[in-house]
Amino acid sequence: MSNISIRDLEDRVTGIFATAGIRAETARAMARVIVAGERDNCKSHGIYRIEGCLRVLKAGKVVPDAIPRLRDSTGPILEIDAGGGFACPAFEDARATLIDRTRQHGLAALVIRDCLHFSALWYEVEDLAREGLASLSMCPSYSSVAPSGGTLPLLGTNPFAFAYPRTGPHPYVFDFATSVAARGEIELHHRAGKPIPEGWAVDANGTPTTDPTEALAGAMLPFGGHKGSAISTMIELMAGAMLGEFMSKEAYDFMGGTSLLPRHGALILAFDPARFSANTGRDPIAEGERLFAAIGDQGARLPSQRRFTARAESEAQGIALTEAELAQLARLESL
């Protein structure tokens, strides 16, 4: 293992994307979100994603110089059109208006249209929680998950994230794929030649499998059986059907399979907690703290604690990368 500073890794990833022809601001925004994933030891959405972004670029399925356009209605629903580009610069361009509008109305929604959302969703909700807002983020992906009771890919891995502000250094954040594991996790097992745990996927015949190659060719399974399947369906509806954007089946058809990143819309709902409890005399943040303390009292850890620990280590010592990861980075820089 060798350590690299967060800043150096961001510069190198930005360089790879800029050399590939991506607009400078987009390249930097992509590097920020990818390196944040690597910094927090979220391997399935860290530097592993660089190649996927380059593949989709090469295939001509993303607009490298798209400039996000904010369509501001002055109301609580904001829309930003990513113009077929990556989602991260669109979120960065819209976040200040979303925060203002949430404080003004008590709640607001950000619709990101026509984007490629390749990253971990915690990045967005954690950012909003640091501004004192609670939020939910969701997007479809592409058909790769069978609904509970079925065996054929239909739903996406449809990620779902939530964050709530806290008094300490970090907010409460959870973020997960609505499949048992993110597709990126299966791809990493495939790359490492390792079997996946039982219960993650079925093969093309609908038979349970631990072989990542068979899993990628078959169907992933939703987490929590019918409950995860229903949440995933909700995301198809809320961030696909309701927005008039692609649902996972359409994204699959548009991208011609799952070898490229999916193109679709995304939805972020933000809330100002103080506005919701204003007439109760109760402090919504202090109430949250009481709950988190009670969870900790049982010896249970909060989601994102592992991530925040990994972050502290990366900030202190740099991000630890394997020799294979460094070689891969160097290879991508030489393209």
- Rule CB under 6 A: which residues touch ligand NDP? 42, 44-45, 117-122, 139, 141, 157, 159, 161, 174-177, 181-182, 185, 301, 303-307
**54: nearest Cα among 261, 254, 263:** 261
* Catalytic residue list contains 229: no
Q: Quick one: 164 or 246, whose CB is closer to ligand PYC?
A: 246
Stretch that binds ligand PYC, among 16-24, 61-69, 182-190, 203-211 (CB under 6 A): 182-190
CA-angle at 215, arms to 211 and 217, nearest 5°: 120
Q: Quick one: 35 or 101, whose CB is closer to ligand NDP?
A: 35
* Catalytic residue list contains 170: no
Q: Quick one: 101 or 119, whose CB is closer to ligand NDP?
A: 119
In angstroms, give the least distance from the CB of 44 to ligand PYC: 5
292 binds, among ligand NDP, ligand PYC, none (CB under 5 to 8 A by kind): none
In angstroms, give the least distance from the CB of 138 to ligand NDP: 10
* Catalytic residue list contains 44: yes
Stretch that binds ligand PYC, among 34-42, 68-76, 85-93, 180-188 (CB under 6 A): 180-188
Total Cβ atoms within 10 A of residue 245: 22
Q: Which of 79, 124, 131, 185 is catalytic?
A: 185
Q: Quick one: 102 or 144, whose CB is closer to ligand PYC?
A: 144
Q: Quick one: 157 or 233, whose CB is closer to ligand NDP?
A: 157
Q: Which two tokens stand for residue 308?
A: 């925040």
In angstroms, give the least distance from the CB of 291 to ligand NDP: 14
Q: Quick one: 304 or 314, whose CB is closer to ligand NDP?
A: 304
Of 37, 46, 184, 218, which lies in the binding site for ligand PYC, with binding defined by CB under 6 A? 184
Site string for ligand PYC, 135-154 (x = CB under 6 A): ------x-------------
122 binds, among ligand NDP, ligand PYC, none (CB under 5 to 8 A by kind): ligand NDP
Instruction: Please give the C-alpha separations between residue 206 and each of 154, 179, 253, in angstroms, as whole numbers.
Output: 13, 16, 21
Stretch that binds ligand PYC, among 17-25, 98-106, 177-185, 226-234 (CB under 6 A): 177-185
Site string for ligand PYC, 207-246 (x = CB under 6 A): ----------------------------------------
Q: Which of 10, 44, 135, 264 is catalytic?
A: 44
Placement of tokens 């506005």 in the chain:
275
In angstroms, give the least distance from the CB of 266 to ligand NDP: 8
Answer yes or no whether residue 266 interacts with ligand PYC by CB under 6 A: no
CA 142 to chain centre: 14
The C-alpha atoms of residue 111 and residue 327 are separated, in whole angstroms, by: 38
Q: What SS3 string covers the chain?
A: CEEECHHHHHHHHHHHHHHCCCCHHHHHHHHHHHHHHHHCCCHHHCCCHHHHHHHHHHCCCCCCCCCCEEECCCCCEEEEEEEEEEHHHHHHHHHHHHHHHHHHHCEEEEEEEEEECCCCCHHHHHHHHCCCCEEEEECCCCCCECCCCCCCCCECCCCEEEEECCCCCCCEEEEECCECCCHHHHHHHHHHCCCCCCCCEECCCCCEECCHHHHHHCEECECCCHHHHHHHHHHHHHHHHCCCCCCHHHHHHHHCCCCCCCEEEEEEEEECHHHHCCCCCCCHHHHHHHHHHHHHHCCCCCCCHHHHHHHHHHHHHCEEECHHHHHHHHHHHCC
Q: What is the binding site for ligand PYC (CB under 6 A)?
A: 44, 118, 141, 157, 177, 182-184, 261-262
Active site amino acids: 44-45, 185
